[in-house]
Amino acid sequence: MTIVKNDDKIILIIKTKVPALLDKTKRQPLETVVVRIAGDSGDGIQVTGSQLSLANAMQGSDLATFPDYPSEVRAPVGTTYGVSAFQIHFGGRDIKTIGDEPDVLIALNPAALKTNLERLRTGGLVIIDTGAFTSRNIEKAGYEISPLEDKTLDAYKLIKTDISKQTLAAVADIGLSRKDSLRCKNFYALGLVYWLFDRQRESTYAWLQKKFAVHKNVANANIAALDAGHAFGETLEASSDLAGYSIGPAQMENGLYRLVTGAQTMAWGLAAAAELCDRKLVFASYPITPATPILHELATLKDLGVVTFQAEDEIAAACAALGASFAGALGVTSSSGPGIALKQETISLAVSVELPMVIVNTQRAGPSTGMPTKTEQSDLYQAAFGRHGESPLPVLAARSPADCFDVAIEASRIAIEYMTPVIVLSDGFIGNASEPWLIADVNDYPRFGHEQIIIPEAFAPFKRHPKTLARQWVTPGMEGLEHVLGGLEKDHVTGAIAYDPENHQKMTDIRAQKIAGISRTIPDLEPDQGDTTGDIAIVGWGSTYGPISRAVTNLRNDGKAVSHVHLRHLFPFADNQDELLDNFRIILVPELNAGQLLMMIKATGRQNLQGLSKVSGQPFMVREIEAAVDKILEKIND
Amino acid sequence: MTDTLAAPALTANDFASENEVRWCPGCGDYAILKAVKKTLAEIGAARENTVFVSGIGCSSRFPHYVNTYGFHSIHGRAPAIATGAMLANPDLDMWIITGDGDGLSIGGNHLMHILRRNVNCQILLFNNEIYGLTKGQYSPTSHFATRSPSSPSGSLDTPIDPALFALGCGARFVARAVDTQQKQLGEILKAAYEHSGASFIEIYQNCPVFNDGVFSPFTEKASRDDFQIQVEHKKPLTYGSENNKGLISNQSQFDLKPVTIGQDGIKPEQIITHDQTNRTLAFLLAQMSGRDTPTATGVLYNASEPSYEHVVTEQVSKITARAKQRPEPARSGINDVLRQGFNWEV
Ligand code: SF4
């Protein structure tokens, strides 16, 4: 064990039993690294994380991030349930997940250490602010003795230093209050991380200068803290055998990039869809975690003609969206599981009156309030089957933040072309995760609209397009075509109230046929990775895309005959889905639920299925999927 | 002069739809339908621009009986659907048809919010103090101890007063009408139409099948004059078969007091003059119980404020104007939005 003392403030301990990753002479190259920053929710963890993301992106690394924040808005300082964390996986190759386990943990207080240490890879590096390890905080975190003094950290490398004190020293000249000065300590830690991975500080300088354009001293203090943290790293380099790491740029398609979360791309996709079909976007929503950021994003687009409406409740939000579509706009509502449940009666009305509408469900862990900030895929049944009566509708799922943009456009297209409500499934992970996005050009997307030929003399509201079976979208304001819509069963042509049994059978059949027919406009399903035949096809949907994709890459590198098929269309399925899956011996369906897609595929008559279920509020780890595949291969190769 | 210059004005009959009206014979809804059609003709409504949105219940069948655009939606939600439609197209003439169950029970929340937001529309709440379509259960406006299939020993719920509810929600136009009082109803409908913002009209509607005569004490010819006061803006609050009764201010109780002119030295000038812009007076009029005091009908409150769609549109203009003043070029579409903020070239 080496102990290096520097100024009495800095202690670097390297446990010799852990193989030394650190090279004194030069930075050690790493392909990718997973860093987790944790602290009190008042410590500015998420800001720190997003700055680290930006700095990485600017240096050409690919990355994926995920914020892990508590449900409580401001939990008492120092408690375990008040810990906010941010995980980032970055590196010199394409990054598909946030990483199974962190390599580096920055713990800004004892509670952050307590709640996050378990995730850290054995032998990983812990950076600790000893200034926050007061006996009171140690006790609040639930430690009996200081974790710095027992064996808690024996299995890890450790940099411990009084970040709080050094931050105060770094910003002393600026003249902020002690409290405000201490609030810069996250940037001190960030500076240290920048040194550790050789990241440039310029993007953070620029961000701080813009963010605190009015409060210049706050910008300057944070910059001073950032620089001090970085300088501290340099002194470590000089005085210890820690030289930091180097991470190369990833190979990325040329073009203009920005960092995006799924909530942003979903919002922009909806706004783009409205432009593409030349309709006003009316977005009606009621605040709910984790769906609300979509409302926040769209509320900033009012100058583009986007109308956002914060309704009195979930039902009103759905109704306002439907009312907007009734009057000729693209009506969209958004929520999470419990809110979607409240909207279902309105969605059934939309099915019955055959008006377009898009419903975005950013799923979270349920049932009931469940774990609002944790992710899950357990609303697939609700989306596909959660209404009353025979009320089929299309269900689409987004696989990643970038994918949300395309899915929002496709859902809007289907809604309008087929005169139907469409449910889009995202989840808390996709909504909050961020990744670099090759910025889309709206002009690259085909325009769409409602194809209708109205002959006023022969007008009837439920006459249908011969191909799509969509009825005509005639909206108030159109002269001579006045009619009444309603939830009572309608005559299959005139739309007049009709109780006749044959008509109800006919309307039920038509509504089902119309939705089933949407599969015609769905491109053929192809493996995302791997061959069209093989031992195993892993069939996923939604946010499991990243872990499945990485696992399949790894497994294929090991020579295993595994393919990855990822579904965007969950109802109806793509026409060739069955045919494609026929070419594999086993179909493995990993889901963050108890097996909902599994059941829906089973219902098509397929036998060779196996589920992989996880319902812990956490995404899949790559190795969990790899292990499931290995187990199957062992069996079938026996 | 050619006949293509102006379309001939529509009559009340032109607003009748082809659908057979299916309310029970003698239902008060017929009279309301008649008054509405007549009003539409009188105000020169454009059929294509007029929309009736309703929820569920006897009254909510209404859109099927008028020859305009209509949406017979789901229970209680008409105000929310109408709000969405108005956000999509603020130029529509929006009418909401609801009842005491639809509007105050299952849809009470939406009614509250459309009123406080002041969405430009007319809300006609048909109050028959009973659930008609589901066959006669007590409603949120039923009197205490109402006997019904779901309350055989009498209901135990304290009723809500629709007009008081609307005033409490911040409605800027609150009126009461009676199905059979066609002239007054027509005038109120017109005033409601002219009012920009949410106009709330409670219409006492007799349900001869399940709650016959519940409003008779103040609507029957014999007793109407002494138990109903029809208020009019800037006119004294007088009533009575000899028009010698009136309301004065009972200052010790902060209340209205019914008096007889000439009795106990009451002089005509003591009678309060109705001021429809006075919200406190509207509350006092609305809360008169109909027992010791008459039931007030007419426009109780009418104070104009910009409607919701108006402020929504105004805010957009302001935001757009401000964006134009900024040094960076104003964004004209989502493509511009995507390219704003931190981005980098690979
Ligand atoms: S039940 Fe009553 S309210 Fe309903 S239609 Fe019959 S009379 Fe009218």
pLDDT, residue B341, reads 82
Q: Could you give the percent of chain A with pLDDT greater than 90?
A: 90
pLDDT, residue B4, reads 52
Q: Give A19's pLDDT tier (boundaries 50, 70, 90).
A: very low
| Cβ pairs bridging A and B (under 8 Å) | 204
The CA distances from residue A509 to A53, A163, A348, A473, A503, in Å, are: 51, 68, 16, 20, 10
The closest alpha carbon to B345, from A438, A604, A406, belongs to A438
Map tokens 């069955």 to a residue: A578
- Residue B197 confidence (pLDDT) above 70: yes
Q: Give A453's pLDDT tier (boundaries 50, 70, 90).
A: confident
- Residue A8 confidence (pLDDT) above 50: no
pLDDT, residue B271, reads 98
> Pocket of ligand 1, candidates B20, B22, B27, B137: which has the most ligand atoms within 8 Å of its Cβ, to mutate?
B27
- Residue A583 confidence (pLDDT) above 50: yes
- Residue-range domain boundaries for chain B: 12-230+275-308, 236-273
Q: Any idea which fold A257-444 has?
A: Rossmann fold (3.40.50)
pLDDT, residue A1, reads 28
Cα-to-centroid distance, B78 and ligand 1 (Å): 20
Quick check: A275 and B113 CB within 8 A? no
Sheet holding B255-260, edge to edge: B238-239, B245-250, B255-260
Q: Which helix (H) or strand (E) holds A490?
A: none
Q: Which helix (H) or strand (E) holds A68?
A: strand A62-68
pLDDT, residue A330, reads 98
Residues A530-579: pLDDT tens digits? 999 999 999 999 999 999 999 999 999 999 999 999 999 999 999 999 99
Residues B13-29: pLDDT tens digits? 999 999 999 999 999 99
Quick check: A257 and B335 CB within 8 A? no
- Residue A23 confidence (pLDDT) above 50: no
> What DSSP string describes B44-106?
T--GGGEEEEE-SSSGGGGGGGBSSEEEE-STT-HHHHHHHHHHH-TTSEEEEEEEHHIIIII
Instruction: Give the best residue of A258, A303, A387 to mutate against chain B (max B CB count within 10 A).
Output: A303
Instruction: State the Cα–Cα distance between residues A164 and A179, nearest whole angstrom.
Output: 11
Cβ-based burial of B265 (10 A; exposed 0-12, middle 13-18, buried ≥19) = exposed
Q: Are strands A62-68 and A125-129 parallel, antiparallel or unpaired?
A: unpaired
Of A41-45, A78-82, A253-257, A453-457, the range with the lowest mean pLDDT is A453-457
Which CATH number is correct for B12-230+275-308, 3.10.20.30, 3.40.50.970, 3.10.290.10, 3.40.640.10? 3.40.50.970
- Residue B179 confidence (pLDDT) above 70: yes
- Residue A10 confidence (pLDDT) above 50: no
What's the average model confidence in pLDDT over B156-185? Answer: 98
Answer whether A439's CB lies under 8 Å from A406's CB: no
pLDDT, residue B7, reads 67
What's the average model confidence in pLDDT over B172-199? Answer: 98
Quick check: B344 and A258 CB within 8 A? yes
- Residue A20 confidence (pLDDT) above 50: no
The class of domain A16-247 in CATH terms is alpha beta
Q: Give chain A's mean pLDDT.
A: 93
What's the average model confidence in pLDDT over B32-44? Answer: 98
Residues A185-220: pLDDT tens digits? 999 999 999 999 999 999 999 999 999 999 999 999
pLDDT, residue A452, reads 77
- Residue-range domain boundaries for chain A: 16-247, 257-444, 534-636
Answer whether A114's CB lies under 8 Å from A141's CB: yes
What's the average model confidence in pLDDT over A128-138? Answer: 96
Instruction: State the Cα–Cα distance between residues A178 and A537, nearest whole angstrom.
Output: 58
- Residue B343 confidence (pLDDT) above 90: no
pLDDT, residue A454, reads 84
Determine the longest span between alpha carbons in chain B, in angstroms.
93
- Residue A22 confidence (pLDDT) above 50: no
pLDDT, residue A242, reads 76
Residues B223-239: pLDDT tens digits? 999 999 999 999 999 99
Q: Could you give the percent of chain B with pLDDT greater than 70?
A: 98
pLDDT, residue B328, reads 77
Statement: A534-636 belongs to CATH 3.40.50.920: yes
User: Higher-confidence residue: A259 or A8?
Assistant: A259
Q: Give A115's pLDDT tier (boundaries 50, 70, 90).
A: very high
Q: Do domains A16-247 and A257-444 have the same CATH topology?
A: no
pLDDT, residue A4, reads 34
Cα-to-centroid distance, B114 and ligand 1 (Å): 26
pLDDT, residue B291, reads 77
Q: Which of residues 60-89 of A touch B (CB under 8 A)?
A: 60
Instruction: Give the best residue of A482, A491, A497 to mutate against chain B (max B CB count within 10 A).
Output: A482
From the list A317, A345, A496, the residue facing B74 with the nearest CB is A345
pLDDT, residue B2, reads 46
What's the average model confidence in pLDDT over A14-39? Answer: 68
Q: Are strands A395-397 and A569-571 parallel, antiparallel or unpaired?
A: antiparallel
The ipTM assigned to this model is: 0.96
